[in-house]
Amino acid sequence: MTNFPEITRSFQELSGLAPEFFMDIRTDDDLARATAFLYTFDFEVKGEEPHPLDPLAELLTQRITAYEARRFPVPDADGPDMLAFLLQQRPLTQQALAAATGIPQSTISDLLRRRRAFTADHARKLGAFFQVNPGMFL
């Protein structure tokens, strides 16, 4: 039988010792505090896998992720946008990408300009080269 009074006492004690595990994240300051706590937790328990407090750290991670998704939404990106972003991040020319993937430079240009649709073969080659999910291009 579950001992709810004991659970309540233990929860109150734990939340007093480490309130960050249970905090709501409503502001950027809350986010900074929660993130700093999570980094500290990770540093303190490194090498102890699994750690008994991992489920609480996971719940905090989920709240951090949910806040970041609301606060910093990422716009939807299609294949051409994704390819342009990845080229910009390297930085990589269309010619260099063509040489590395076997996709003709003119085809890469057409893909970026939305004159041509990505094929499964393009997605597979680009995914392998950039080490991303090929579905990002389709």
> Which backbone phi and psi does 52 adopt, to 5 degrees?
-60, -25
More confident residue, 101 or 133: 101
Cα(65)–Cα(54) distance, rounded to whole angstroms? Answer: 16
pTM over 0.95: no
Task: Please state whether the peptide bond connecting residue 73 to the residue before it is cis, i.e. omega within 30 degrees of 0.
Answer: no
What is the pLDDT averaged over residues 115-133?
93
Task: Please state whether the peptide bond connecting residue 75 to the residue before it is cis, i.e. omega within 30 degrees of 0.
Answer: no
Going by pLDDT thresholds of 50, 70 and 90, the confidence category of residue 45 is confident
Q: Which contiguous run of DSSP H or E holds residue 38?
A: helix 28-45
What confidence score (pLDDT) does residue 76 get?
Answer: 80
Task: Please state whether the peptide bond connecting residue 50 to the residue before it is cis, i.e. omega within 30 degrees of 0.
Answer: yes
Give all domains of the chain, ordered by start, each with its CATH number: 4-71 (no CATH), 79-137 (1.10.260.40)
Cα(132)–Cα(123) distance, rounded to whole angstroms? Answer: 10
More confident residue, 42 or 29: 29
Residue 128 has pLDDT above 90, yes or no: yes
> Which backbone phi and psi does 58 adopt, to 5 degrees?
-65, -40
Cα(34)–Cα(98) distance, rounded to whole angstroms? Answer: 44
The 10s digit of each residue's pLDDT in 62-112 is 999 999 989 988 678 899 999 999 999 888 999 999 999 999 999 999 999
Over pLDDT 70: what percentage of the chain? Answer: 99
